């Protein structure tokens, strides 16, 4: 099966042209250039710790969702693949800290779009965009991100969290543009379709889903971890012994939300898409009829490769957006040369004080 996968960079004419609402990327690029122009000829300490400093994005913290109902397992049904040639499009973003200056941190943000048509995978990368984040410019950054920053934040955010907000904003813009630019497609996201009503993210998410529906697209959002529980167990454990492919439908009246502030914009399913893979929570736009929701998952099965229970297009989007060690070194060399930075090695106070125990979180 692996030999049948074809990867190709994508000529511009093969990808739907994005013409509307270019304000965010324009401001995004300007923000990147302006923030980096502040560090010319300053000292710069490169970082390369991929395990601790790579951030996909920070999602809103979802409260525990309990599932009640003795007939829950009766809602498990088998799936039949529908190989009808539907395009599968996946989106993911990530960011990474690449170094420090005397006044802040330097990070890079990148997004990727992968699509599968007729068993051929193509991709488009956006970025990397470097940013210099400081105590002085973080409020400006959040204000420029506007509707694409999912939560109204105060001034107490750590700089590493601002990095994640930049990642969030780029991802939401890509999702918005894809939902407007393609039609009759399955669009795959990473995460869930939930939001708190007190956040500005709710309206943005609802708008993206509405644009997708208007163009006959269907959004499926895969969660690698979920707060949904049944009798204290993870909801994904319920399908571990059932023959794949199958799904468990979670009826809305079976859910007990611990927070009245939480809004579900997706119908929750639990999907086990092949016998050798994992089980995932899958959210499908709840405004669509139930029959369309289930057919969408079957069309995904019929038109994309499923690897370890996960769509190949979404797996590739993660890979193409993620930063490797070579990427980070290349970014560091570029910005050091472009901005005339003096590379230095500052002492690590935590390691000097605590030795092998000198680790800690962003707030230390």
* pLDDT of 146 strictly over 90: no
**What DSSP assignment string belongs to 210-247?**
HHHHHTT-EEEEEESS--EEETTEEGGGGGTTSPSSEE
Q: What is the pLDDT of residue 160?
A: 76
pTM of the model: 0.85
Q: What is the mean pLDDT of the chain?
A: 82
Task: Work out whether strand 43-46 and strand 342-343 pair parallel, antiparallel, or are unpaired.
Answer: parallel
pLDDT band of residue 41 (cuts 50, 70, 90) is confident
Helix residue ranges, H only, 54-200? 138-145, 159-181
- Give the CB-side neighbour count of residue 252, counting CA atoms within 13 A: 10
Distance (Å, whole) CA 235 – CA 226: 8
Kindly report the length of the chain.
Answer: 364
pLDDT tens digits along 175-202: 999 999 999 999 999 998 988 766 667 8
Region 235-261 average pLDDT: 76
Task: Work out whether strand 233-234 and strand 65-67 pair parallel, antiparallel, or are unpaired.
Answer: unpaired
Region 162-169 average pLDDT: 90
pLDDT tens digits along 11-37: 433 444 444 444 567 888 999 999 999
* pLDDT of 153 strictly over 70: no
**What DSSP assignment string belongs to 45-57?**
EE---HHHHEE--
Q: Which of 81-90, 139-148, 192-201, 233-242 is predicted most confidently?
A: 81-90
pLDDT tens digits along 330-358: 999 999 999 999 999 877 777 778 877 76
How distant, in Å, are the alpha carbons of 76, 111, 219 from that of 246? Answer: 7, 31, 19
pLDDT tens digits along 193-237: 988 766 667 888 999 999 999 999 999 999 987 777 666 677 777
Task: Work out whether strand 228-230 and strand 233-234 pair parallel, antiparallel, or are unpaired.
Answer: antiparallel
């Amino acid at each position: 099966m692996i030999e049948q996968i074809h990867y190709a960079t994508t000529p511009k004419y093969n990808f739907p042209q994005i013409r509307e609402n270019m304000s965010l990327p324009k401001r995004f690029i300007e923000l990147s250039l302006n923030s980096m122009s502040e560090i010319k000829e300053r000292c710069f300490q490169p970082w390369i710790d991929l395990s601790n400093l790579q951030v996909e994005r920070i999602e809103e913290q979802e409260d525990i969702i309990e599932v009640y109902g003795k007939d829950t397992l009766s809602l498990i049904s088998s799936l039949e693949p529908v190989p009808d040639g539907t395009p599968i499009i996946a989106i993911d973003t990530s960011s990474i800290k690449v170094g420090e200056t005397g006044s802040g941190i330097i990070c890079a943000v990148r997004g990727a779009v992968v699509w599968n048509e007729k068993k051929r995978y193509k991709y488009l990368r956006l970025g990397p965009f470097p940013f210099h984040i400081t105590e002085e410019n973080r409020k400006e950054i959040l204000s420029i991100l506007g509707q694409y920053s999912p939560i109204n934040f105060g001034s107490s955010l750590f700089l590493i969290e601002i990095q994640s907000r930049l990642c969030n904003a780029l991802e939401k813009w890509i999702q918005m543009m894809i939902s407007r630019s393609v039609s009759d497609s399955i669009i795959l996201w990473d995460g869930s379709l939930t939001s708190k009503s007190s956040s500005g993210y709710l309206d943005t998410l609802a708008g993206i889903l509405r644009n997708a529906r208007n163009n006959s697209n269907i959004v499926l959002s895969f969660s690698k971890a979920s707060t949904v529980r049944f009798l204290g167990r993870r909801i994904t454990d319920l399908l571990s012994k059932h023959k794949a492919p199958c799904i468990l439908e979670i009826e809305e009246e079976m859910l007990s939300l611990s927070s009245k502030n939480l809004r579900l914009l997706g119908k929750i399913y639990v999907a086990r898409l092949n016998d050798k893979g994992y089980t995932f929570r899958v959210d499908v736009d709840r405004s669509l009829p139930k029959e369309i929701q289930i057919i969408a998952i079957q069309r995904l099965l019929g038109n994309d490769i499923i690897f370890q229970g996960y769509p190949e297009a979404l797996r590739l989007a993660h890979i193409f957006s993620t930063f490797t060690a070579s990427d980070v070194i290349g970014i560091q060399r570029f910005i050091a040369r472009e901005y005339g930075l003096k590379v230095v090695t500052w002492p690590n106070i935590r390691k000097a004080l605590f030795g092998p125990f000198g680790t800690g979180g962003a707030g230390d």
